[in-house]
A and B are shown apart, each in its own frame.
Chain A
Amino acid sequence: MAAKKKSDNDPALGKSLLHSMILQRRFEEKVAEAYALGKIGGFCHLYIGQEAVSTGTLSLLRDDDYVLTTYRDHGQAIMRGMSPRSVMAELFGRIDGCSRGKGGSMHLFDRHVNFLGGHGIVGGHVPMATGVGFAIKYRGGDQVCICYMGEAAVNNGAFHESLNMAGLWRLPVIYVIENNKYGMGTALARASSIKDMYKRGATYNIESAEVDGQDVWAVRDAMQDAIDRARKDYAPTLLEIRTSRYMGHSMSDAASGTYRSKEELESDRKRDPINLLKAKLITDKLIMDADVAAMEAEIAAVVQDSWDFADASPEPPLEALFEDVYVETTT
Chain B
Amino acid sequence: MALITYRDALNQALRDEMHRDDRVFLMGEEVGEYNGAYKVSKGLLEEFGEMRVVDTPITELGFAGVGVGAAMVGLRPVVEFMTWNFALLALDQIVNAAAKMLYMSGGQFPMPLVFRGPNGAALQLSAQHSQSWESWLAHIPGLKVVAPGTPYDAKGLLKAAIRDDNPVIVLEGEMLYNTKGEVPDEDYVIPLGKAELKREGDHCSIITSGKMVLVAMQVADQMAKDGIRIDVVDLRTIRPMDVDAITASVRKTNRAVVLEEGWEVCGIGAQVVDYIQRDCFDHLDAPVLRVHQADVPMPYAKAIEKAAKPDVAKTIAAVKKVMYIES
The residues of B that contact A184 with a CB separation of less than 8 Å are: 29-30, 34, 37
Does chain B have a CB within 8 A of A1?
no
Which of A101, A152, A153, A315 has most B Cβ within 10 Å?
A101
CA distance A107 to B294 in the complex (A): 20
Q: How large is the interface on B (under 10, 10 to 19, 20 to 34, 35 or more residues)?
A: 35 or more
Distance between B262 CB and nearest chain A CB, rounded to angstroms: 16
CA distance A132 to B141 in the complex (A): 38
Q: Which of A101, A156, A322 contacts B301 (CB 8 A)?
A: A101
The residues of B that contact A107 with a CB separation of less than 8 Å are: 126-128, 300
Given contacts A103-B300, A104-B300, A320-B299, contact A155 B37 (CB under 8 A): no
The residues of B that contact A42 with a CB separation of less than 8 Å are: 123-126, 129, 300
The answer on a CB contact under 8 Å between B300 and A191 is no
The residues of A that contact B85 with a CB separation of less than 8 Å are: 121
Does chain B have a CB within 8 A of A140?
no
Does chain B have a CB within 8 A of A123?
yes
Does chain B have a CB within 8 A of A131?
no
The answer on a CB contact under 8 Å between B126 and A321 is no
The answer on a CB contact under 8 Å between B34 and A93 is no
The answer on a CB contact under 8 Å between B307 and A102 is no
The answer on a CB contact under 8 Å between B128 and A106 is yes
CA distance A316 to B304 in the complex (A): 7
The residues of B that contact A120 with a CB separation of less than 8 Å are: 126, 128-129
The residues of B that contact A316 with a CB separation of less than 8 Å are: 299, 301, 303-304
A269-318 residues at the B interface, CB under 8 angstroms: 315-316, 318
CA distance A175 to B302 in the complex (A): 34
The answer on a CB contact under 8 Å between A183 and B58 is yes
The answer on a CB contact under 8 Å between B58 and A122 is yes
Given contacts A156-B59, A184-B29, contact A318 B128 (CB under 8 A): no
The answer on a CB contact under 8 Å between B58 and A321 is no
CA distance A209 to B294 in the complex (A): 47
A87-103 vs B, CB cutoff 8 Å, 1 = contact: the mask equals 00010011000010111
A164-178 vs B, CB cutoff 8 Å, 1 = contact: the mask equals 000000000000000
Which residue of B has the minimal Cβ distance to A92? Answer: B301
The answer on a CB contact under 8 Å between A186 and B126 is no
Distance between B269 CB and nearest chain A CB, rounded to angstroms: 20
CA distance A325 to B301 in the complex (A): 16
Does chain A have a CB within 8 A of B66?
no
**A-B pairs with CB below 8 Å: how many?**
120
The residues of A that contact B128 with a CB separation of less than 8 Å are: 106-107, 119-121
The answer on a CB contact under 8 Å between A185 and B59 is no
B24-43 residues at the A interface, CB under 8 angstroms: 29-30, 33-34, 37
CA distance A318 to B302 in the complex (A): 11
B230-263 residues at the A interface, CB under 8 angstroms: none
The residues of A that contact B297 with a CB separation of less than 8 Å are: 325
The answer on a CB contact under 8 Å between A41 and B123 is yes
Does chain A have a CB within 8 A of B214?
no
The answer on a CB contact under 8 Å between A186 and B308 is no
Count of A residues near B, CB < 8 Å? 39
Does chain B have a CB within 8 A of A16?
no
The answer on a CB contact under 8 Å between B29 and A186 is yes
A55-94 vs B, CB cutoff 8 Å, 1 = contact: the mask equals 0000000000000000000000000000000000010011
The answer on a CB contact under 8 Å between A321 and B33 is no
The residues of A that contact B88 with a CB separation of less than 8 Å are: 121
The answer on a CB contact under 8 Å between A186 and B34 is yes
CA distance A322 to B298 in the complex (A): 10
The answer on a CB contact under 8 Å between B58 and A155 is yes
The residues of B that contact A261 with a CB separation of less than 8 Å are: none
Does chain A have a CB within 8 A of B296?
yes
Does chain B have a CB within 8 A of A267?
no
The residues of B that contact A152 with a CB separation of less than 8 Å are: 57-58
The residues of A that contact B56 with a CB separation of less than 8 Å are: 191
Does chain B have a CB within 8 A of A330?
no
Does chain B have a CB within 8 A of A258?
yes
Which residue of A has the minimal Cβ distance to B82? Answer: A184
Which of A42, A43, A191, A320 has most B Cβ within 10 Å?
A42
B47-101 residues at the A interface, CB under 8 angstroms: 55-62, 85-86, 88-89
The residues of B that contact A101 with a CB separation of less than 8 Å are: 299-301, 304
Q: Which of A90, A123, A153, A315 contacts B304 (CB 8 A)?
A: A315
The answer on a CB contact under 8 Å between A318 and B296 is no
The answer on a CB contact under 8 Å between A186 and B299 is no
The residues of A that contact B125 with a CB separation of less than 8 Å are: 42-43
Given contacts A121-B89, A157-B59, A185-B30, contact A103 B304 (CB under 8 A): no
The answer on a CB contact under 8 Å between A103 and B127 is yes
Given contacts A43-B129, A321-B308, contact A186 B55 (CB under 8 A): yes
The residues of B that contact A320 with a CB separation of less than 8 Å are: 299, 301, 304
Distance between A44 CB and nearest chain B CB, rounded to angstroms: 10
Which residue of A has the minimal Cβ distance to B303? Answer: A315
The residues of A that contact B307 with a CB separation of less than 8 Å are: 318, 321
Which residue of A has the minimal Cβ distance to B61? Answer: A157
The residues of A that contact B295 with a CB separation of less than 8 Å are: 325
Which residue of A has the minimal Cβ distance to B126? Answer: A104
The residues of B that contact A183 with a CB separation of less than 8 Å are: 57-58
The residues of A that contact B304 with a CB separation of less than 8 Å are: 101, 315-316, 318, 320-321
The residues of B that contact A99 with a CB separation of less than 8 Å are: 300
A161-206 residues at the B interface, CB under 8 angstroms: 183-186, 190-192
The residues of A that contact B126 with a CB separation of less than 8 Å are: 42, 102-104, 106-107, 120
Given contacts A157-B61, A321-B296, contact A186 B30 (CB under 8 A): yes
Distance between A15 CB and nearest chain B CB, rounded to angstroms: 36
* 11 pairs from A and B in contact (CB 8 Å cutoff): A93-B124, A93-B302, A121-B88, A122-B86, A152-B58, A184-B37, A186-B57, A192-B57, A315-B301, A321-B308, A322-B294
Given known contacts A41-B302, A102-B300, what 5 new A-B pairs fall within 8 Å (CB)?
A43-B129, A103-B300, A106-B129, A153-B58, A185-B30
Binding site for A on B (CB under 8 A): 29-30, 33-34, 37, 55-62, 85-86, 88-89, 123-129, 294-297, 299-304, 307-308
